[in-house]
Amino acid sequence: MPTKPVKCITPGCPNMTYHLRCLSCSAEEANRRVLEAAEGKCIHSHSITGDYEMVKRLLPEYKGGHPQDGYMLDVCKTCLTELPERPYNPGRLLRGH
């Protein structure tokens, strides 16, 4: 924790704080998370992205299915919710020198 107030890390917020976010931005973030939880959306920030075999190896308790062709699974590590699948990026895989 800083000993002097610093600018809030929320983009566009002019407030100074002793924490990362000012009190009003922290309250707004908490309210957003509560609304997402009420809608059934995953509120956690850590997930595993990869093919079915990798997800099953890292999260053996995962009970979901395989992704559609050309996509990777994205599964929350905490609640095992399936997040929107992500497309493979073959351009990055072919750059080896």
Domain extent listing, the chain: 6-38, 47-91
Low-confidence ranges of the chain (pLDDT < 70): 1-2, 90-97
The first and second tokens of residue 62, run together, are 């995962």
- pLDDT for res 44: 79
pTM of the prediction?
Answer: 0.55
Round the CA-based radius of gyration of the chain to a whole number and report it. 19
pLDDT value for 95: 47
- Provide DSSP, the chain: --SS-EE-SSTT---EESSSS-HHHHHHHHHHHHHHHHTT------EEEE-HHHHHHH-TT----PPPTTEEEEEETTT-PBPPPEE--HHHHT---
